[in-house]
């Protein structure tokens, strides 16, 4: 089942959600990969690229599954990157749920029917949840406690559950789940970058949890490595080192403003209720307790060694 | 040091002096100036000029060294040299005809140029071979517009005294003149560079219509003072001084005097802003006087420009002042203000026509005196330590608040740089406040070990002290960590701070990972109960949790070392509990000094390790076995506690 075995022709890769941040990062790498023959993009918009074969699929539609199956079986692909995920909570929670959970369900069904050799799904280290009872380093087998206040994270946890069940049903397939630490970089946009890009960043007074960050280049590299890795399962993809949130804020060129917890909470809830909230309320948990994931498995099994320190990733945010 | 450097190949001297410069972190500007002097030389002078440059640089660097070691005997006197050199005579170079006075603007430019490293211009290089070796004066005239007298004169010396070693015998009077002129010219350069640097540094931030004029005036004034001082110094110490000595002395004196005089000038200029009717700079210039006393010593490095002044406060100048970038930030005006004071000794009786002047003057004098006293206090070692400690405490507070930042944290959250900055505080607490005495620390085996200790005191300082004791007494071990129960670990501020200092949340995953790293791991199995027990139950061990540490030991094979800590209970006795659920805490402990500890004496006793090698890892599931080992550890600690308590005569004295 190894796609990179010798004698095999050049690779044909399918990608959903190619216009998102992950898709953009990955496509530029695949474009330069000489082993990649063509990229089948299953998305609603056509991305740039010489190798791109575009096939319009809307994952939120009821017929998405059959379209996907057709597209994948018409000409077999060597790997499917399912990257059609949101990068932060959106106001329309039900649409997000349709896209992430139902969309993933469709993709998994199509992947099972077309007997794909390899499936790569991105996730977040946020699915572990920021809890007081987290160990210093969360390994891949730690419980996914998620964040009960956040539909976004809950959806991600649900997606992870689906993918795990799928992997257990299809032991002959390589199913890789990459749990990314907050991706930081000049060209990505997610709650973490939005949070850090403010000139003054509110934090919880008396708490300074450790954060990890992943430079966007490292994220792209990890996605690319997943194409050939002889491994299956979940991997924490994290940058080098950890930093307290205040240090991260300072590195990003902003100033931390410690606010007493109740005040901060009330303010954030008010903003959210008014509709002006730029910061998700769930972020409160993540700036309260540490959620440091251990990238050891990605290093040993995936061969992913981050090049960038969190510090550099945060500083890259400042330069943009 | 200067001798050794000077005694070598002349080409190497300029370079040889640089490491010294590099080793004086304070004087960047001056090092740059010295370097530029060095760089300017090669144009006209060839080898000899390189030598001169080297000397200038060497003299400079020695001066820096003087600054560094200023706490020693030389300190006060050298500072006096600065301020006392306020002699008003015209530059000596003029008298000997080597250097006619340049316009002010020219001088500043030249000084500026001296500050920025500059390659010799082609014209200079072209002229160089034409300089006749015999005529110092001609050479000077030739390079005069470029103001490099020091560069050309060594040529004559070279013909007379081939080596830097003084084997030329007694100099003739003509030679002496030349030597003097040379040294003075060199000193003039140095003085200008220094003065410009100081003035620029002091006035750099200020902008205004008069800024440029002020700058020029201040530089000019400082340079003149310095030159006068140099001349005086050279005349006094004329006999039996070799050329190098003279030059070094001249450069040193010039730089110091220029430094202080420039500050004085700046003050003056500022004062003039405040009181527009104040006399011009030239006026008090005339009133100052200098007396340079040179000690006769063979080694040039011992030459001290010792200037006596009719000023009673001379000993108050802390050595830290002399470096513009010293550790203690110098109030930029001290030396200047005292010379200012000197110039008007009877302040009240001066009978100034303006009524406002004496008042302002008195205010300035009082202010400067206050500054002097404060400066001296700051320069003393213990207060410097205290300041460092304050800085550390500030960082600690910031870390606790959650704005500490830091980029070098390990994955557990320890911030080694914060610990380093807090070292003065920790050291004080450890060895002076709590006077921790440690017994049996050799029982701690190398590699992974579980140190089981009694938890005590309302505020859990014991983990910190345990880790300090282990790092101090057993540097061969890996850095220890201690486990802290959730209630403390997630308390706002306290938890964050403890985390930065090395505490790790108590859970099996963390413990296993730490033991995997072969660290000594300090655990407090009583946990939270021990902290919340009233003072009356002190040193009575609570239930040892559920024996988690025994399971850990059985699974990893790490030995258990029982540890008894006495003194922690009295350090922060729990007097009461203030409910504080709104802070996310079960309660806030009421202790005598709030978060501050009491100075109880601590004793830590390490017991014999309890090995678990003969038990299989599966024994961790045998609750009976776990219970037995837990009880054994508990008894070991309790008995050590009893004996420590019996041996203790006084809570605070030990």
Residue B37 has pLDDT above 60, yes or no: no
Q: Which range (A179-183, A286-290, B119-123, B532-536) has the least confidence?
A: B119-123
B160, two tokens? 């007379």
**Residue A168 belongs to a domain:** yes
8 A C-beta contact, residue B182 and residue B97: no
- In sequence order, which ranges of A37-114 are alpha helices (DSSP H)? 64-74, 93-97, 103-113
Residue A300 — very low, low, confident or very high, per pLDDT cuts 50/70/90?
Answer: very high
DSSP conformational letter for A37: E
Helix (H, G, I), strand (E, B) or coil at B540: coil
Q: From the CA of B430, how many Å to the nearest CA of chain A?
A: 26
Q: From the CA of A107, how many Å to the nearest CA of chain B?
A: 36
pLDDT in tens, B600-632: 999 999 999 998 888 888 888 889 999 999 999
- Kindly state the average pLDDT of the residues B277-282: 43
pLDDT cut 70: percent of chain A above it: 96
Residue B1 has pLDDT above 50, yes or no: no
Beta pairing, strands A36-43 & A52-56: parallel
Q: Bigger pLDDT: A49 or B340? A: A49
Residue B249 has pLDDT above 80, yes or no: no
- Kindly state the average pLDDT of the residues B416-430: 90
pLDDT in tens, B534-545: 888 888 898 888
Residue B470 has pLDDT above 60, yes or no: yes
pLDDT in tens, A259-275: 888 888 888 888 878 87
Q: Which of B45-49, B335-339, B379-383, B539-543 has the highest mean pLDDT?
A: B539-543
Handedness of CA B372, B374, B375, B376 (dihedral sign): positive
| Mutant choice from A244, A247, A294 vs B, greatest count of B C-beta within 10 A | A244
Q: Bigger pLDDT: B295 or B633? A: B633
Structural domains in chain A (count): 1
How many contacts, defined by CB atoms under 8 Å, are there between A and B?
97
Residue B373 — very low, low, confident or very high, per pLDDT cuts 50/70/90?
Answer: confident
pLDDT in tens, B153-184: 344 344 444 444 444 444 456 666 666 677 67
Q: Which range (A68-77, A298-307, B17-26) has the least confidence?
A: B17-26
- Kindly state the average pLDDT of the residues A277-306: 88
pLDDT in tens, B189-208: 777 777 677 666 666 555 55
Nearest to A258 among B402, B410, B510 (CB): B402
- The reported pLDDT for the residue numbered B241 is 53
pLDDT in tens, B316-339: 444 444 444 444 444 444 444 444
Give buried/exposed letters for B487-499 (b at 16+ CB in 10 A, else e).
bbbbbbbbbbbbb
Q: Bigger pLDDT: A109 or A75? A: A109
Query: Within 13 Å of residue B321, how many CA atoms lie on the same side as its CB?
Result: 31
Residue B358 has pLDDT above 70, yes or no: yes
Residues from chain A contacting residue B582 (CB–CB below 8 Å):
262
Residue B145 has pLDDT above 90, yes or no: no
Q: What is the rounded average pLDDT for all residues in chain B?
A: 67
Q: Bigger pLDDT: B650 or B139? A: B650
- The reported pLDDT for the residue numbered B203 is 61
Instruction: Check if A221 contacts B (Cβ < 8 Å).
Output: no
Rounded Cα–Cα distance for residues B450 and A155 (Å): 42
CB contact under 8 A, B406 and A244: yes
Residue A159 has pLDDT above 90, yes or no: yes
- The reported pLDDT for the residue numbered A303 is 93
Domain with A311 in it: 11-319
pLDDT in tens, B69-111: 433 434 334 334 344 333 333 444 343 444 444 444 444 444 4
- The reported pLDDT for the residue numbered B238 is 52
Residues from chain B contacting residue A203 (CB–CB below 8 Å):
402-403
DSSP conformational letter for B103: P
Handedness of CA B626, B631, B634, B635 (dihedral sign): negative
**Residue A58 belongs to a domain:** yes
CB contact under 8 A, B402 and A207: yes
- Kindly state the average pLDDT of the residues B121-132: 41
Residue A78 — very low, low, confident or very high, per pLDDT cuts 50/70/90?
Answer: very high
CB contact under 8 A, A203 and B402: yes
In the block, tokens 């308390």 appear at B491
- The reported pLDDT for the residue numbered B572 is 87
CB contact under 8 A, B402 and A242: no
pLDDT cut 90: percent of chain B above it: 21
CB contact under 8 A, B406 and A243: yes
DSSP A165-215: HHHHH-TTSEEEEEEEPPEESTT--SHHHHHHHSSEEEEETT---EE--EE
How many CB atoms sit inside 10 A of residue B390's CB? 13
Q: Bigger pLDDT: B650 or B106? A: B650
CB contact under 8 A, A137 and B490: no
Helix (H, G, I), strand (E, B) or coil at A38: strand
CB contact under 8 A, A243 and B412: no
Q: ipTM of this model?
A: 0.87
| Mutant choice from B398, B400, B401, B403 vs A, greatest count of A C-beta within 10 A | B403
Q: Is the domain covering B416-647 a CATH 3.40.50.2300 domain?
A: no
**Residue A6 belongs to a domain:** no
State the burial class of residue B216 (Cβ atoms within 10 Å of its Cβ: 0-12, 13-18, 19+). middle
Residue A182 has pLDDT above 60, yes or no: yes
Domain with residue A125: its CATH number is 3.40.50.720
- Domain limits, chain B: 2-164+176-379, 416-647
8 A C-beta contact, residue A212 and residue A164: no
A163, two tokens? 């993918």
Give buried/exposed letters for B412-440 (b at 16+ CB in 10 A, else e).
bbbbeebbebbebbbeebbeebbbbebbe
Residues from chain B contacting residue A246 (CB–CB below 8 Å):
402-406
Q: From the CA of A204, how many Å to the nearest CA of chain B?
A: 7
Closest CA to A18 of A70, A53, A64, A60: A53
Nearest to B513 among A137, A205, A206 (CB): A137
Residue A164 has pLDDT above 70, yes or no: yes
- The reported pLDDT for the residue numbered B46 is 40
**Residue A269 belongs to a domain:** yes
Q: From the CA of A313, how many Å to the nearest CA of chain B?
A: 12
Q: Which range (B217-221, B343-347, B522-526, B594-598) has the least confidence?
A: B343-347
Rounded Cα–Cα distance for residues B516 and B448 (Å): 7
- The reported pLDDT for the residue numbered B643 is 94
Residue A139 has pLDDT above 90, yes or no: yes
Q: Which residues neighbour B120 within 8 Å (Cβ) at sequence distance 6 or greater?
A: B40, B42, B43, B44
Q: What is the rounded average pLDDT for all residues in chain A?
A: 89
B576 pairs with which residues across the strands?
A: B590
Q: From the CA of A41, how many Å to the nearest CA of chain B?
A: 39
Q: From the CA of B402, how many Å to the nearest CA of chain A?
A: 5
- The reported pLDDT for the residue numbered B23 is 41
Instruction: Check if A181 contacts B (Cβ < 8 Å).
Output: no
Nearest to A206 among B400, B405, B411 (CB): B400
Rounded Cα–Cα distance for residues B560 and B448 (Å): 10
């Amino acid at each position: 089942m190894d796609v990179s075995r010798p004698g095999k022709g050049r690779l044909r890769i399918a990608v959903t959600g190619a216009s998102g941040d992950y898709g953009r990062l990955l496509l530029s790498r695949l474009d330069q990969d000489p082993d990649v023959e063509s990229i089948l993009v299953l998305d609603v918009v056509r991305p740039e690229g010489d190798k791109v074969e575009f096939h319009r699929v809307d994952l939120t539609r009821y017929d998405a599954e059959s379209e996907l199956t057709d597209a994948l079986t018409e000409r077999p692909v060597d790997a499917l990157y399912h990257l059609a995920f949101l990068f932060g909570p959106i106001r329309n929670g039900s649409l997000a749920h349709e896209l992430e959970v139902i969309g993933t369900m469709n993709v998994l069904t199509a992947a099972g029917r077309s007997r794909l050799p390899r499936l790569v799904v991105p996730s977040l280290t946020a699915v572990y949840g920021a809890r007081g009872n987290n160990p210093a380093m969360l390994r891949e087998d730690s419980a996914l406690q998620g964040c009960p206040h956040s539909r976004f994270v809950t959806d991600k946890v649900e997606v992870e559950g689906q993918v795990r069940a799928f992997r257990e049903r299809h032991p002959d397939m390589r199913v890789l789940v990459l749990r990314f630490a907050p991706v930081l970089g000049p060209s990505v946009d997610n709650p973490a970058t939005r949070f850090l890009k403010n000139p003054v960043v509110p934090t919880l007074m008396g708490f300074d949890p450790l954060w990890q960050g992943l430079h966007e280049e490292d994220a792209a590299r990890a996605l690319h490595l997943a194409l050939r890795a002889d491994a299956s399962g979940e991997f924490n993809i994290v940058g080098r080192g950890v930093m307290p949130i205040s240090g991260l804020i300072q590195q990003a060129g902003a100033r931390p403003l410690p606010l007493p917890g109740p005040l901060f909470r009330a303010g954030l809830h008010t903003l959210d209720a008014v509709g002006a909230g730029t910061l998700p309320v769930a972020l409160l948990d993540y700036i309260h307790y540490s959620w440091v994931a251990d990238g050891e498995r990605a290093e040993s099994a995936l061969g992913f060694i981050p090049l960038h320190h969190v510090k550099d990733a945060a500083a890259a945010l400042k330069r943009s | 040091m200067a001798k050794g450097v000077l005694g070598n190949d002349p080409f190497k001297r300029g370079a040889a002096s640089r490491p010294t410069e590099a080793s004086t972190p304070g004087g960047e500007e001056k090092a740059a100036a010295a370097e530029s002097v060095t760089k300017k030389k090669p144009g006209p002078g060839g080898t000899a000029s390189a030598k001169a440059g080297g000397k200038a640089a060497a003299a400079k660097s020695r001066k820096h060294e003087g600054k560094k070691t200023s706490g020693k005997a030389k300190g006060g006197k050298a500072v006096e040299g600065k301020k006392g050199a306020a002699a008003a005579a015209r530059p000596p170079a003029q008298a000997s005809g080597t250097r006619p006075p340049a316009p002010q603007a020219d001088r500043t430019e030249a000084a500026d140029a001296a500050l920025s490293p500059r390659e010799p211009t082609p014209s200079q290089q072209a002229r160089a071979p034409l300089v006749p070796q015999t005529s110092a004066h001609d050479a000077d005239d030739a390079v005069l517009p470029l103001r490099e007298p020091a560069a050309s004169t060594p040529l004559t010396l070279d013909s007379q005294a081939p080596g830097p070693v003084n084997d030329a015998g007694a100099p003739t009077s003509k030679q002496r003149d030349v030597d003097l002129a040379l040294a003075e010219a060199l000193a003039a350069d140095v003085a200008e560079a220094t003065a410009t640097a100081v003035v620029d540094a002091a006035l750099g931030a200020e902008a205004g219509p008069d800024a440029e004029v002020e700058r020029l005036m201040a530089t000019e004034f400082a340079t003149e003072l310095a030159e006068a001082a140099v001349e005086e110094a050279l005349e006094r110490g004329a006999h039996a001084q070799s050329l190098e000595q003279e030059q070094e002395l001249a450069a040193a004196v010039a730089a110091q005097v220029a430094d202080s005089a420039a500050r004085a000038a700046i003050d003056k200029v500022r004062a003039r802003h405040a009181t527009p009717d104040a006399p011009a700079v030239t006026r008090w210039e005339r009133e100052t006087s200098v007396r340079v006393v040179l000690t006769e010593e063979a080694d040039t490095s011992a030459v001290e420009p010792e200037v006596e002044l009719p000023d009673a406060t001379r000993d108050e100048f802390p050595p830290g002042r002399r470096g513009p970038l010293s550790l203690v930030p110098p109030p930029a005006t001290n030396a200047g203000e005292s010379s200012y004071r000197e110039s008007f000794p009877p302040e009240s009786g001066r009978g100034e026509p303006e009524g406002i002047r004496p008042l302002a003057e008195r205010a300035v004098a009082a202010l400067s005196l206050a500054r002097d006293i404060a400066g001296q206090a700051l320069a003393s070692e213990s207060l410097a330590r205290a300041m460092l400690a304050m800085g550390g405490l500030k960082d600690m507070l910031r870390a606790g608040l959650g704005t500490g930042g830091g980029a070098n944290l390990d994955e557990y959250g320890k911030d080694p740089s914060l610990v380093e900055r807090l070292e003065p505080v920790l050291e004080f607490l450890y060895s002076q406040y709590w006077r921790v005495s440690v017994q049996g620390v050799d029982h701690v085996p190398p590699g992974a070990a579980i140190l089981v200790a009694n938890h005590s005191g309302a505020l859990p300082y014991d983990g910190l002290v345990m880790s300090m004791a282990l790092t101090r007494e057993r540097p061969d071990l890996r850095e220890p960590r201690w486990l802290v129960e959730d209630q403390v670990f997630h308390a706002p501020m306290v938890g964050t701070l403890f985390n930065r200092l090395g505490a790790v949340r108590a859970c099996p995953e963390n413990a296993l990972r730490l033991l995997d790293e072969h660290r000594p791991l300090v655990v407090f199995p009583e946990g939270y109960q021990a902290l919340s027990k009233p003072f009356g139950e002190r040193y009575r061990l609570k239930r040892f949790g559920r024996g988690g540490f025994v399971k850990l030991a059985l699974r990893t094979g790490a030995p258990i070392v029982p540890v008894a800590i006495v003194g922690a209970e009295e350090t922060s006795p729990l007097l009461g509990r203030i409910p504080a659920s709104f802070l996310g805490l079960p309660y806030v402990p009421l202790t005598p000094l709030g978060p501050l500890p009491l100075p109880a004496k601590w004793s830590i006793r390490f017991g014999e390790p309890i090995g678990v090698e003969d038990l299989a890892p599966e024994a961790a599931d045998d609750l009976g076995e776990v219970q037995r080992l837990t009880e054994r550890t508990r008894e070991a600690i309790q008995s050590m506690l009893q004996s420590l308590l019996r041996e203790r005569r006084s809570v605070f004295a030990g």
